[in-house]
């Protein structure tokens, strides 16, 4: 059995790798992030960037849960060879991408805090959520 220290070390290592990976993909995926660059006061800066991407791949939304700050524009991009949608489950509906065929994109800006659950109308087993703080 591993000691608590060993487990912590492993967890820390995994966490570090994940953090590095997320930072790296952010740098690649959202290079334009305009708001973050203009605002010089760190206190008023949102903790996440003003643009984020959800990749649709292998019949899944990646990431399945996306945390963003108010005002962030989320872009869904379909990397599968069949059509999908990103459709809000709220009533009234907050957003609906309509059909996204291969490589199609859809963007929506979230201006109110909340938890926005959504799904794919073609394949309702595909579920995702955007958490806006």
Partner 1 sequence: MSNYIDKDTSNDGIDRRGFLKCMAWAGAGMVWAMKGGILTARAFGQDAPTAAGDDFTFVQVSDSHIGFNKGVYTDVVGTFQSAVSRINALPAPPSLVLHTGDLTHLSKPKEFDTVAEVMKSIKTQRSFFVPGEHDYFVDNGNRYLERFGKGTIGTGYQSFDYKGVHFIGLVNVANISNGNTALGVLGNEQLEWMEKDVASLGSSTPIVVFAHVPLWTIYEQWGWGTQDAAQALRYLKRFGSVSVLNGHIHQILQKVEGNITFHTARSTAFPQPAPGTAPSPGPMKNIAAEKLRSYLGLTRVDYVEHTGMLATTDSTLADDVPATQP
Q: Which residues bind partner 1 (CB under 8 A)?
A: 58-60, 80-83, 85, 87, 89, 91, 98-99, 101-102, 117-125, 127
116 is written with which tokens? 């926005």
2, 30, 52, 65, 122 from 26: Cα distances, Å: 34, 6, 8, 15, 29
In whole angstroms, the minimum distance from the beta carbon of 60 to partner 1 comes to 7
In whole angstroms, the minimum distance from the beta carbon of 105 to partner 1 comes to 16
Nearer to partner 1, 36 or 129 (CB): 129
Nearer to partner 1, 76 or 119 (CB): 119
CA 133 to chain centre: 13
125 is written with which tokens? 């087993």
CA 72 to chain centre: 10
In whole angstroms, the minimum distance from the beta carbon of 63 to partner 1 comes to 17
In whole angstroms, the minimum distance from the beta carbon of 82 to partner 1 comes to 6
Nearer to partner 1, 7 or 82 (CB): 82
Which region holds residue 32: left if phi is over 0, alpha if psi is between -120 and 50, else beta?
Answer: alpha
Nearer to partner 1, 15 or 59 (CB): 59
């Amino acid at each position: 059995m591993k000691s608590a220290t060993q487990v912590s070390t492993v967890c820390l290592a995994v966490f570090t790798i994940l953090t590095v990976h997320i930072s790296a993909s952010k740098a690649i995926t959202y290079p334009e992030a305009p708001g973050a660059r203009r605002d010089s006061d760190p206190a008023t800066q949102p903790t996440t960037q003003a643009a984020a991407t959800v990749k649709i791949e292998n019949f899944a939304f990646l990431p399945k849960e996306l945390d963003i700050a108010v005002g962030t524009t989320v872009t869904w991009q379909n990397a599968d060879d069949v059509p999908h949608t990103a459709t809000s489950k709220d009533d009234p509906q907050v957003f609906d991408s309509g059909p996204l065929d291969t490589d199609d994109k859809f963007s929506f800006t979230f201006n109110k805090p909340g938890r926005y659950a959504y799904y794919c109308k073609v394949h309702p087993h595909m579920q995702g959520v955007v958490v806006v703080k």
